[in-house]
Amino acid sequence: MSTPERDPGRWRPALDRPALVALVLGVAGVGYRLVLTLLTLPTSNSDEATFGLAALHIATGDERPVFLYGQRYMGVLESYLAAPLVGWAGASWPLLRLPLLALFAVFLWLAYRLTRRLFSPWLATLVVGLLALGSERVVRDQLTVVGGRPEVKPAVLAMLLVAVALGERRVRHRWLATGLFGLLAGLALWSDWLIVPYLAVAGLVLVWAAPRDLVGWPGVLLAAGFLVGVAPVIKDNLVAPDGQDSLSVFREISTKDGATPSVSERLHGGLLEGVPLASGLCPMDGCARWAEWFGLLYPVLLVAAAVLGLVAFRRAGDPAARVRAVAILALVVGAALTLLAYVRSPLAATDPLGNSRYLSVLQISLPVVLWPLWRAAAYAVRATAGGVARAGGALAALVLAALVAATLAGTVAFVADAPALRAEERQARALADAVRRAGLREVYGDYWTCNRLIFNTDEAVVCGVLDGDLSPGQNRYPAYWKRVGRAARPGYVVAVGSSAERALRRLLGDRADAAVVAEVGGYRVYHPDAAVRPWR
């Protein structure tokens, strides 16, 4: 990435041209996301608020949660990262997200380092440029605190860099390197189980690259690091009630009853919609037909990269080159396994827009997906290239240009929607202020209102979740539900015209209008003269 250069009286690293361009693009990408973070874009929601509330509880020392409240398989490492900030300044969406911004910067740097090590400097620059852009779907996965993905991606890249460096004999403190590899693997497994395919292939690269480092004390440090990272999961599962351990919960979620979508429906949702959405080519409301081309091309590029990786392995003249070829194949296999697992799930067909976030880890394999196109375009400019090679290279360059243009268009579309998104965020805060001004401290509301309201009021107001028929809903944190249940006159925050409001007004009868104390942003706040709890 850099070479030493001596000036009179001082020494500094000199960046070559690809590194300098990558640095500019990376700073622009981080700056873009810093502005979004300060503006709370993308908008917050109750899932993110639950992580924020966990961070508040960690900061006060009241609790040490392992998994997200009410969800015993999603780790809350992001809450621990944010706890010092929200503990110092109170509930704040920008402060909650700042650690993820730092993780994104680390991810960009590691992506550049790994791509340069395995492929070429200018391809590494292109990868940084594409990652620096970001549609709403992409940025939401990178900046919103909803668990797992922002931290596991840099962890996998670091693990691969460690394995390659060990195989190339470039590591002085090899024991510490294996310990770090194990620690990152354990933390990633705690954070998000969706990263398991990449953890598996990274482990295989380590076994291939440095088998001797897995024997004796380095192997002990590897295992110890992994156990330290995954220790919270082990501890929680040892005390979990029957059927509430992580494996049981995850298995139950993955095997819910219902109609099984056809293979074609899952392929359409997973490839044609999921891949372009996760790659930043589409807005949040879905992909246009023209944007689905990348989903069709993606598996073809994976196959081409696998062939190139095998050829590189066979032609490798030294162990270091073989290690790099194995790492390339690992990136291919990790992406293929992730995509296969997603396409097998009914979620790929039933809700591709909402579940494409599970494919955000494919950004780890972006360099290897672009590699065949880059190779073809680079070969075409050689003097020895024939007519067919030149035509193929021109087509590859056109595809790369189309990918950059589509990613840029997705970013521009997100920026254009920013004013409307900001207005929605301001309404959520205005609703929280209205509830506090009404003197309410305990209210009922729907799922997407409650925890967001609690976080926006820094827990000055607590909320119990009700479904549309005013029956108890998904209350992730039972303490809030119990506190609202003890209130003599709880309030109600309901969307105007919703089934919950209609049910509430029927129960209140002639007292309904008199109970309205505020109306903000499509919501009405009710404070009846007596508690209304029809489920009791």
Nearest 5°: phi and psi at 46? Answer: -70, -30
DSSP secondary structure letter of residue 41: -
Number of residues that make up the chain: 536
Only one residue has tokens 């995509």, namely 339
Q: Is the pLDDT of residue 248 over 50?
A: yes
371-414 pLDDT, tens digit per residue, is 999 999 988 777 567 788 888 899 999 999 999 999 999 999 99
Q: Is the pLDDT of residue 1 over 50?
A: no
What type of residue is 318? D
pLDDT band at 307 (very low <50, low <70, confident <90, very high): very high
Angle between helix 121-132 and helix 366-380 axes, rounded to 10 deg? 130
| Residue 322 CA from chain centroid, whole number | 31
What type of residue is 304? A
| Distance spanning both ends of the chain, measured CA to CA | 66
Pairwise CA distance, residues 536 & 533, whole Å: 6
pTM for this predicted structure = 0.94
Mean pLDDT of 414-432: 96
pLDDT band at 506 (very low <50, low <70, confident <90, very high): very high
Query: Which class for 144: exposed (0-12), middle (13-18), buried (19 or more C-beta within 10 A)?
Result: buried
Pairwise CA distance, residues 177 & 160, whole Å: 11
425 in Cβ contact with 43 (< 8 Å)? yes
195-206 pLDDT, tens digit per residue, is 999 999 999 999
In order of 38, 41, 101, the CA distances from 415 in angstroms are 14, 10, 18
Dihedral angle sign, alpha carbons of residues 339, 343, 345, 347: positive
Pairwise CA distance, residues 369 & 33, whole Å: 25
Only one residue has tokens 């050829």, namely 311
Per-residue model confidence (pLDDT) at position 354: 85
Pairwise CA distance, residues 54 & 311, whole Å: 49
Nearest 5°: phi and psi at 440? Answer: -85, 140
14-61 pLDDT, tens digit per residue, is 789 999 999 999 999 999 999 999 999 999 999 999 999 999 999 999
pLDDT band at 253 (very low <50, low <70, confident <90, very high): low
Nearest 5°: phi and psi at 462? Answer: -115, 155
Q: Is the pLDDT of residue 255 over 80?
A: no
148-201 pLDDT, tens digit per residue, is 889 999 999 999 999 999 999 988 888 899 999 999 999 999 999 899 999 999
pLDDT band at 105 (very low <50, low <70, confident <90, very high): very high
DSSP secondary structure letter of residue 472: B
27 in Cβ contact with 137 (< 8 Å)? no
Number of neighbours of residue 172 by Cβ within 10 angstroms: 7
319-369 pLDDT, tens digit per residue, is 999 999 999 999 999 999 999 999 998 888 888 888 888 999 999 999 999
Q: What's 252-319 look like in SS3?
A: HHHCCCCCCCCHHHHHHHHHHHHHHHHHCCCCCCCCCHHHHHHHHHHHHHHHHHHHHHHHHHHHCCCH
225 in Cβ contact with 181 (< 8 Å)? yes
Pairwise CA distance, residues 241 & 247, whole Å: 12
Q: Is the pLDDT of residue 221 over 50?
A: yes
Dihedral angle sign, alpha carbons of residues 98, 104, 107, 113: negative
Say whether 494 sits in a helix, a strand or coil: strand
Pairwise CA distance, residues 319 & 450, whole Å: 57
pLDDT band at 4 (very low <50, low <70, confident <90, very high): very low
Q: Is the pLDDT of residue 7 over 60?
A: no
**Residues near 399 by beta carbon (within 8 Å), at least 6 away in sequence:** 297, 373
Number of neighbours of residue 20 by Cβ within 10 angstroms: 13
Share of the chain residues as helix, strand and coil, in percent rounded to the nearest 5: 70, 10, 20
Paired with 523 in beta bridges are: 495, 520
Q: Which DSSP helix (H) or strand (E) runs through 75?
A: strand 71-75
101 in Cβ contact with 30 (< 8 Å)? yes
Per-residue model confidence (pLDDT) at position 413: 94
Cis preceding linkage at 8, omega within 30: no
pLDDT over 90 percentage in the chain: 78
| Residue 209 CA from chain centroid, whole number | 29
Paired with 3 in beta bridges are: 14
Per-residue model confidence (pLDDT) at position 13: 58
Q: What's 421-438 look like in SS3?
A: HHHHHHHHHHHHHHHHHC
Per-residue model confidence (pLDDT) at position 250: 67
Mean pLDDT of 96-112: 98
Least confident of 246-255, 284-293, 309-318, 482-491: 246-255
Rg for the chain, CA atoms, rounded: 26
pLDDT over 70 percentage in the chain: 95
Torsion-angle region of 371 (φ positive above 0: left; ψ -120 to 50: alpha; else: beta): alpha
